[in-house]
Structure formats: C-alpha cells, structure tokens
C-alpha cells in the first residue's frame, strides 16, 4: 500500500509501514512453517506466553497473565470487540484528539458515538478536560468507554505512570471503562519508559490490545492479543468464540518469533529511529523553520505543525501536488489536526532528506 497507492514519481512518507528488512527469526519461523505445510488454524498460548515474557523483560511488568488473554485478528478489530463487551449501541467512546483516524471510523461504524477530549497544548492528556468529558459521557446513567492510545499516535507521546494512574482514578470515579490500544508500546525512544495501562493502580478493570505488528513491520501478517486486567477477566471471558477464527496462523507464528527472538533486531531499529528523529529535526530547522516539530517519545511517526506556513489549503495536499511527497493529512485525526501532517520516519536517512527537500520545494 505504501509504495503502490501513488504515482511512481511520488515519495511515500505516509502509511505506517516501515522500509526495513524483516528480522531473521521471523523469516525463519514463517519459512519453516511453510516448509512443513503448517498453514491451518491458530491454536495454543505461545503468542501470549511470548508477549508475557517480553513485557516482563522489557517493561518490568510481570502481571500479564496468559489466562487473561485472547487472540484477535488485529488491534483495531480487537478494539471493536472489547468495546462491544463494555458498551452498547449509541454509547459514547472518549478519545484524545488528534488521534489515529480509525478510532473515529471503527467506533462510528459500530454505532457508538465518538466524544473528543483533546490533548493539551503540550500534546499530553489534559486531565481536567478528560474529567469533564467523562462526566458528560456518563450523564443520565449512560455507559461509556475511553479508548486510550498509548503510546499516542500521531504525537508519539508516552503517557507516564502518574498520568495513567490519574486516568484510572477518573475512569473509576465516573464508571468509564478503559480500552487501551498499546500497539506502539515496543517502539519507545532511548531513555523513555513505556508503562502498560493494566499495570498502574486502578488499571485492573481495563482491557488492552497489544501486537508485534508495528514494531516488527508485520501489518500484513494479522494477529493481536486482547489482555484483561484482573477485574476485567469476566468481560474478556464473554468474547465470542468466533472472534478467534480471524487471526492468521502465520501471523501468530511471526509475532511469536518477533517477541521471543527479535529483540536484538528491535534494538537496532530503535537506534535508527532515534537517529532519524534527530535528522528530521535538523533538516526542518534548516529548510522549513516555520514547521514546528516536537520529536516523539515513541512510534516512528512525526507530527508536524505547519500552521505557520500560512497555507490556505491542507498542507498535505500542497506537499503532494507541488512537491510530490505523500504525507498523512492531519484533518482526519480530529480536533487539533487541521494544519498538521504526519510523516513516517521509518525509512532511510536519504529518503527523509529527499522528503524534506521536496516539501521545501513545494513552497518555493
């Protein structure tokens, strides 16, 4: 999709796929499965066990209980299934905008109401705004959920333990159920600690979706895990059996290999992403100083504030049509997205340099 959506003369720095060779343990695991003819339905708890081991070693979280997990087709379809467990048709689902556009699309398609609690000017959760939004969401005795993006896409913000504990306290106070999309969790920058939502005080009633998909570039090999906190185990137990039919068996094999044997590859990737963040900041400062860029603490996505360019149209359209570089428009990300673009950093330094050159040329 990344390289084939636009014409050949367009440089694609948009959709969340990475320009990287796959980790050798993943290639070996999938190749071995194919050689054996092992292409049936997924079974067992190997994926959950691999994730639990990774979470313990990487984040110091030993609380991921395999018996409180379920394989789901991917993170967003897992989000849909978790929201079905804790809300009903017409119920509000709170999001921190600007946020990953499928949050809007999937929630609205399942007949829930998206309610925005915009991030603060510092691109972090505004707890006062969230408190007020929760209060409105449950008015009249309605059920409500909070769809938490952690780490946050598109800003790259990594929520702290204190912030997440405050979220859990607000959710408990208002009776709001938390569903956390933690797909970017392995992609934190050097020196930044990811905190699983289910690990914080009060987070035990939450539900989380995790996957190796983003960190190991496995978007085409579908699989994810739903994880329940201790107080949400009964909710997860109500997940319909047919949901487990959707994941790819080869996807489960690939994700399991990534989490068990692909951490060396991941560390090399993270070092390259740190370099690319610094490179992008330097290039923008030199060629496009009017664009504001706060390097994210996680993900391989850059959220660029282009409002000072004074453009009358969507910056993404300008960069595409005049500069032949494809970026994500900020508008579909909701409130706070207009005048912004999202750039995919997970490519070579040469392509990032060329991308910024084309962006600058689009404004000449």
Give the integer Cα–Cα distance in Å for 265 and 184. 16
pLDDT category of residue 112 using cuts at 50, 70 and 90: very high
Q: What is the pLDDT of residues 264-293, one digit of tens each?
A: 999 999 999 999 999 999 999 999 999 999
> Which of the four pLDDT bands, split at 50, 70 and 90, describes residue 85?
very high
Provide the CA 32 distance to its chain's centre, in angstroms: 30
pLDDT confidence tier of residue 190, bands split at 50, 70 and 90 = very high
Fold matches, 11-21+264-362 and 38-261: no
- The 3-class secondary structure across the chain, one letter per residue, is CCCCCCCCCCEECCCCCCCCCCCHHHHHHHHHHHHHCCCCCCCCCHHHHHHHHHHHHHHCCCCCCHHHEEEECCHHHHHHHHHHHHCCCCCEEEECCCCCHHHHHHHHHCCCEEEECCCCCCCCCCHHHHHHHHHHHCHHHCCCEEEEECCCCCCCCCCCHHHHHHHHHHHHHHCCEEEEECCCCCCECCCCCCCCHHHCCCHHHCEEEECCCCCCCCCCCCCEEEEECHHHHHHHHCCCHHHHHCCCHHHHHHHHHHHHHCHHHHHHHHHHHHHHHHHHHHHHHHHCCCCEECCCCECCEEEEECHHHCCCCCHHHHHHHHHCEECEECHHHCCCCCCEEEEECCCCHHHHHHHHHHHHHHCC
Q: What is the share, in percent, of the chain residues with pLDDT greater than 90?
A: 99
Phi/psi of residue 34, each to 5°?
Answer: -65, -40
Q: Where are the domains of the chain?
A: 11-21+264-362, 38-261
Given pLDDT bands bounded at 50, 70 and 90, which one contains residue 224? very high
Confidence of residue 101 (pLDDT cuts 50, 70, 90): very high
Contact 355, 343 (CB under 8 A): yes
User: What's the pLDDT at 280?
Assistant: 98
pLDDT at 71: 97
Q: How confident is the model at residue 225 (pLDDT cuts 50, 70, 90)?
A: very high
Rounded to the nearest 10 degrees, the angle between the axes of helix 46-59 and helix 263-287 is 60
323, 252 contact by CB (below 8 A): no
The residue-averaged pLDDT of 308-329 equals: 97
Q: How far apart are the first and last CA of the chain?
A: 30
For residues 240-249, average pLDDT: 93
Burial class (CB in 10 A: 0-12, 13-18, 19+), 245: exposed
| Average model confidence (pLDDT) across the chain | 97
Q: Is the pTM value of this prediction over 0.75?
A: yes
Q: How confident is the model over 46-51, as a mean pLDDT?
A: 98
At residue 8 the predicted structure's pLDDT band, cuts being 50, 70 and 90, is: very high
Asked whether the beta carbons of 197 and 164 are under 8 A apart, the reply is: yes
Q: How confident is the model at residue 5 (pLDDT cuts 50, 70, 90)?
A: very high
Task: Report the pLDDT value the prediction gives residue 169, as an integer from 0 to 100.
Answer: 98
Local confidence band at 320 (pLDDT 50, 70, 90 cut-offs): very high
pLDDT at 114: 98
- What tokens does 213 get? 């998909």
Mean pLDDT over residues 60-88, rounded?
97
Domain 38-261 - what CATH class? alpha beta
In CATH, the architecture of 11-21+264-362 is Alpha-Beta Complex (3.90)
CA distance 305 to 298: 18
**How far is it, in rounded angstroms, from Cα 20 to Cα 49?**
26
Q: What pLDDT sits at residue 156?
A: 98
- CA quadruple 204, 207, 213, 215: dihedral, nearest 10: -30
């Amino acid at each position: 999709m990344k390289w084939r959506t636009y014409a050949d003369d367009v440089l694609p720095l948009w959709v969340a796929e990475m320009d990287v060779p796959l980790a050798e343990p993943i290639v070996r695991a999938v190749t071995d499965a194919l050689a054996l003819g092992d292409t049936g339905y997924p079974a067992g708890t190997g994926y959950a066990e691999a994730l639990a081991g990774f979470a313990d070693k990487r984040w110091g979280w030993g609380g991921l209980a395999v018996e409180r997990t379920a394989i789901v087709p991917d993170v967003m379809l897992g989000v849909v299934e978790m929201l079905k467990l804790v809300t009903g048709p017409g119920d509000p689902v709170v999001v921190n905008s600007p946020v990953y556009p499928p949050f809007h699309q999937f929630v609205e398609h399942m007949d829930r109401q998206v309610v925005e609690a915009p991030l603060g000017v510092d691109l972090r959760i505004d707890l006062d705004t969230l408190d007020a939004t929760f209060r409105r969401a449950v008015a009249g005795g309605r059920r409500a959920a909070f769809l938490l993006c952690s780490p946050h896409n598109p800003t790259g913000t990594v929520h702290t333990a204190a912030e997440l504990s405050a979220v859990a306290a607000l959710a408990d106070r208002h009776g709001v159920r938390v569903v956390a999309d933690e797909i970017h969790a392995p992609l934190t920058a050097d020196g930044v600690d990811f905190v699983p939502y289910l690990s914080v005080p009060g987070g035990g009633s939450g539900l989380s979706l995790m996957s190796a998909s983003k960190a190991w570039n496995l978007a085409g090999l579908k699989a994810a895990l739903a994880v329940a906190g201790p107080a949400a185990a009964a909710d997860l137990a109500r997940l319909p059996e047919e949901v487990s039919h959707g994941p790819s068996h080869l996807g489960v094999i690939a994700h399991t290999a990534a989490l068990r044997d692909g951490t060396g590859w991941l560390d090399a990737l993270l070092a390259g992403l740190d370099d690319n963040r610094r490179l992008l900041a330097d290039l923008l400062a030199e060629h496009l100083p009017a664009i504001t860029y706060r390097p994210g603490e996680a993900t391989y996505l850059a959220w660029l504030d282009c409002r000072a360019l004074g453009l009358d149209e969507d910056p993404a359209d300008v960069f595409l049509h005049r500069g032949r570089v494809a970026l994500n428009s900020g508008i579909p990300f909701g409130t706070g997205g207009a005048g912004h673009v999202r750039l995919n950093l997970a490519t070579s330094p040469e392509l990032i340099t060329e991308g910024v050159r084309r962006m600058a040329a689009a404004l000449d």
